A = this chain, B = another copy of it.
Amino acid sequence: MLGLWLEDLKLSLKDDLPRPARPGEALVKVRLSGICGTDLELARGYYPYTGVIGHEFVGEVAEAAEADWIGRRVVGEINAACGECEQCRNGRPTHCERRTVLGIVGRDGVHAEYATLPLANLHPVPDSVPDEAAVFVEPLAAALEIQQQVHIQPTDRVLLVGAGRLGQLIAQTLNLTGCDLRVVARHPRQKELLTSRRIRLIEEQEILPGRWDVVVEATGSPSGFDLARKALRPRGTLVLKSTYRGEMTLNLSPFVVDEITVVGSRCGPFEPALRLLERREVDPTPLIARRYPLAQALEAMEAAGRSGMLKVLLEP
């Protein structure tokens, strides 16, 4: 089997990988996979991992214990949970203490011809949602995790810092709340995409400090964090929605004096993401910048790493 393999911080395309098999799990034939910032970070050593990378996908069930799943077009939640630990028993399966995570922790990912996941992780894709939209369900769910954690009021003044791959999806979903949203975008293409959806931009120097009810940090950079922090009003909420590399030096006093709430935000709910795609309230497809055959995955990863590059897809 062909797959994009990471080992000792080195990526390689292997064509002799065994087809993955895990007892009781479904085998999924990947139709499309998407390259995410976390894939790039893994290759840079953000977290030690050896195996096939990739966790955003749409595929087709090739083998499953329950016959009626076979042939279904599916997307899949990336955290495979034990169902028994304290986190699972308390309704937090994405935080399972013994979890494996597709293409991230102890489980081969989807930049390959096949991958496996428990049936419980799979969600059928409605016929009206094309592969090119379905492949975005995982990051779209991650965007929705913000509203799952933080009550965004329609009257809120909300600032989104960062308009890359994930930022674009966050902008689209936040915009649906009716809140007064402004987005800090760096690259012309990012700005174009937002403007085409009538999402309002703001230049960094126009941002009044201490005035925003909710600020979403989606750059992962210390300068983005700093900008986000300063924009927030007293008792405001700062949502951290990115992968942070290394350490940051912070003065915690202003967080206490201004009674700031900081919320870390990771994986989100798939069902509402699928609903929004089906209703066409969100359209991720203009985010697709490039599409490569899986055999050119190394070139694809390189392209995805370029500044301002939006979504790069792989086709096995």
Q: Are A95 and B249 in contact (CB under 8 A)?
A: no
Check A92/B234 contact, CB under 8 A, given A244-B253, A248-B249, A251-B247: yes
Q: How far is the CA of A86 from the CA of B236 in the complex (A)?
A: 13
Which residues of A, 30-75, contact B by the 8 Å Cβ criterion? 46
A46 to B233, CA, bound (A): 22
**Provided the pairs A250-B250, A251-B247 are in contact, do residues A95 and B261 lie with their beta carbons within 8 angstroms?**
no
Residue from A95, A234, A266 having most chain B Cβ neighbours under 10 A? A234
Count of chain copies: 2
Complex partner residue of A259 from B97, B258, B264, CB under 8 angstroms:
B264
- Distance A251 CA – B247 CA, assembled complex (angstroms): 4
Q: Which of A235-268 contact B (CB under 8 A)?
A: 235, 240-253, 255-266
Residues of B within 8 A of A252 (CB): 225, 240, 244, 248, 264
Instruction: Tell me, rounded to whole Å, the shortest Cβ–Cβ distance linking A170 to chain B.
Output: 14
Given contacts A87-B234, A248-B252, A255-B264, 4 further A-B contacts (CB under 8 A): A87-B233, A256-B264, A258-B264, A259-B263
Q: Is the CB of A86 within 8 A of B262?
A: no
Contacts of A261 in B (CB 8 A): 149, 261-264
Whether B263 lies near A149 (C-beta < 8 A) is no
Enumerate chain A interface residues (CB-CB to B < 8 A).
46, 86-87, 92, 95, 97, 145, 149, 210-211, 225, 233-235, 240-253, 255-266
Closest B residue, CB atoms, query A91: B235
Pairwise interchain contact A266-B259, C-beta atoms closer than 8 A: yes
Distance in angstroms between the alpha carbons of A233 and B86 in the assembled complex: 10
What residues on B are CB-neighbors of A250 within 8 Å? 247-250
Contact A255/B240 with A97-B210, A248-B250, A264-B260 known, Cβ cut-off 8 Å:
yes
Are A257 and B266 in contact (CB-based, < 8 A)? Answer: yes
Which residues on B sit within 8 Å (CB–CB) of A263? 259-262
Contact A247 B249 (CB under 8 A): yes
Assess whether B149 is in contact with A259, with CB atoms less than 8 Å apart. Answer: yes
| Chain B residues within 8 Å of A255, by CB | 240, 262, 264
- Chain B residue at smallest Cβ distance from A246: B251
In angstroms, how far is the closest chain B Cβ from the Cβ of A204? 21
Q: Which residues of B contact A247 (CB under 8 A)?
A: 249-251
With both chains docked as a complex, state the minimum distance between the C-beta of A218 and any C-beta of chain B, in angstroms: 11
Instruction: Return the chain B residue nearest A145 by Cβ.
Output: B259
- Give the residues in chain B near A249, CB-CB below 8 Å: 247-250
Complex Cα distance, B256 from A145, in Å, reads 12
Please report the C-alpha to C-alpha distance between residue A138 and residue B46 in the assembled complex, in whole angstroms: 45
Q: Residue of B at shortest CB range from A259? A: B264
**Complex CA–CA separation, A262 to B238 (angstroms):** 10
Query: Are A235 and B92 touching (Cβ within 8 A)?
Result: yes
A242 to B256, Cβ gap below 8 A?
Answer: yes
> Could you write out 29 A-B pairs with CB less than 8 Å apart?
A87-B233, A87-B234, A92-B234, A95-B233, A95-B234, A95-B235, A145-B259, A240-B255, A240-B256, A241-B256, A242-B256, A245-B253, A247-B249, A248-B250, A249-B249, A249-B250, A250-B250, A252-B264, A255-B262, A256-B264, A257-B264, A259-B264, A259-B266, A260-B262, A260-B263, A261-B261, A261-B262, A262-B262, A262-B263
